[in-house]
């Protein structure tokens, strides 16, 4: 088979949804197609409809720059350059690793950020702290594509301050060549035979939720008794851990240095692309289901441009490109026809309702936050 025919076969496979966008770019560039050429094919496949959206924007109100603060590894490669090209706005893009560090930086008052991406429970906290600006839905007409189940989230009914960006679950990834037998429970995180091969999220709510769900409790409990039980379990577990680690653990999971990692669903699926022994599990006890959101800070210097950015990210093709790149689920019904079929049909990415019924959204636990923080401080110091 010639190089051209191999590339043509990959184009057909990508167009039919048999391979992912990332694998298509990886394989075609390995065959000698330029990155620009591969991205051009991808852009044509997703049929970017710039003209159809032009009337939605008052260009006289656009600022020259926009300051965005998002999670790491959480945007498609083409999102920013395409936005900059279309609107003539320079995007300054910074990243964070957990909600709490993002909040602390915003609370410092000197960030200059316009758009931030908090998880649901953090939206609720930031609303209470009066850190978020109300959204003008008239400037975000693509809100009409949001799935009905996500339009009235418990943390922000009516999406007054937040628009869903991506959603997923926080289960765990494991190396199927290193672990044998039925793997369907958080119990492997407390098994001494895996000492030094386990990681937990470097996140107070994320790590403590594992112990709570394993013990049969809500991950939003405010019961001191239940939290002390979870603390003891995690204290006993600490010697088994390699580390508390979030996004950077992907490389260790891929290399085989780590065998079991509490991790967000999409990060595990990204790791699978480089190591097909990795498997994602939503444990039988349940886990966190979450929505990350686009919000505008009350102190944002470029509010109108921020709303244009949010609306742009909610175009079906743009949202689908992000989901296909990061392996998380789109909140937009309008984007689903453009999602890779491999992902759309995977119950780890789009879980059935019976599985979601075992999961919980994190909510603001109010005064109990102090207990969680004390537990976390002791765990990290051990």
pLDDT at 244 (0 to 100): 96
pLDDT at 340 (0 to 100): 87
Q: pLDDT tens-digit profile of 131-150? A: 999 999 999 999 999 999 89
Angle formed by the axes of helices 204-214 and 224-237, nearest 10°: 100
The structure tokens listed for 103 are 């909040």
Tell me the CA distances in angstroms from 132 to 14, 65, 91, 303, 308, one per residue in order. 40, 20, 20, 11, 17
Instruction: Delineate the domains of the chain, giving CATH numbers in brackets.
Output: 3-39 (no CATH), 58-167+289-349 (3.40.190.10), 168-288+355-381 (3.40.190.10)
Backbone angles phi, psi at 320, to 5 degrees: -65, -40
* CB-CB contact of 254 with 236 (8 Å): no
pLDDT at 8 (0 to 100): 66
Q: pLDDT tens-digit profile of 267-305? A: 999 999 999 999 999 999 999 999 999 999 999 999 999
pLDDT at 158 (0 to 100): 95
pLDDT at 306 (0 to 100): 98
Ranges of residues in the chain with a pLDDT under 50 are: 47-52
pLDDT at 180 (0 to 100): 83
pLDDT at 43 (0 to 100): 62
Tell me the CA distances in angstroms from 313 to 101, 136, 350, one per residue in order. 24, 16, 20
* CB-CB contact of 124 with 363 (8 Å): yes
pTM of the model as a whole = 0.82
């Amino acid at each position: 088979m010639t190089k051209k025919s191999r590339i043509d076969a990959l184009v057909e496979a990508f167009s039919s949804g048999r391979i992912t966008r990332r694998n298509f770019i990886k394989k075609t560039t390995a065959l000698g197609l330029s990155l620009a050429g591969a991205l051009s094919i991808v852009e044509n496949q997703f049929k970017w409809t710039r003209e159809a959206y032009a009337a939605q924007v008052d260009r006289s109100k656009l600022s020259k720059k926009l300051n965005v603060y998002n999670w790491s590894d959480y945007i498609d490669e083409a999102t920013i350059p395409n936005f900059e090209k279309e609107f003539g706005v320079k995007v300054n893009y910074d990243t964070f690793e957990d909600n709490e560090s993002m909040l602390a930086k915003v609370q410092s008052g000197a960030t200059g950020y316009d758009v931030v991406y908090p998880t649901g429970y953090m939206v609720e906290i930031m609303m209470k702290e009066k850190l978020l600006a109300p959204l003008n839905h008239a400037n975000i007409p693509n809100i009409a594509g949001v799935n009905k189940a996500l339009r009235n989230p418990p943390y922000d009914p009516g999406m007054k301050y937040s628009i869903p960006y991506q959603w997923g679950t926080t289960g765990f990834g494991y190396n199927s060549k290193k672990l044998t037998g039925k793997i369907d429970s958080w119990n492997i995180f407390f098994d001494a035979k895996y000492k030094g091969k386990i990681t937990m999220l470097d996140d107070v709510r994320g790590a403590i939720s594992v112990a709570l769900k394993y013990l049969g409790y809500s991950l939003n409990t405010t019961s001191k008794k239940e939290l002390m039980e979870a603390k003891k379990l995690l204290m006993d577990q600490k010697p088994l851990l390699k580390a508390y680690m979030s996004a950077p653990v992907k490389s260790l999971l891929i290399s085989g240095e780590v065998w079991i990692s509490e991790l967000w669903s999409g990060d595990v699926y990204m790791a699978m692309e480089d190591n097909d022994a990795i498997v994602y599990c939503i444990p039988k006890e349940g886990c966190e289901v979450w929505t990350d959101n686009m919000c505008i800070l009350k102190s944002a210097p470029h509010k109108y441009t921020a709303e244009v950015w949010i609306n742009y990210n909610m175009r079906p093709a743009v949202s689908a490109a992000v989901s296909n790149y990061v392996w998380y689920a789109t909140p937009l019904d309008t984007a689903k026809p453009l999602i890779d079929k491999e992902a759309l049909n995977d119950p780890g990415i789009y879980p059935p309702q019976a599985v979601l019924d075992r999961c919980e959204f994190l909510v603001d636990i109010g005064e109990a936050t102090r207990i969680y923080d004390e537990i976390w401080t002791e765990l990290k110091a051990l």
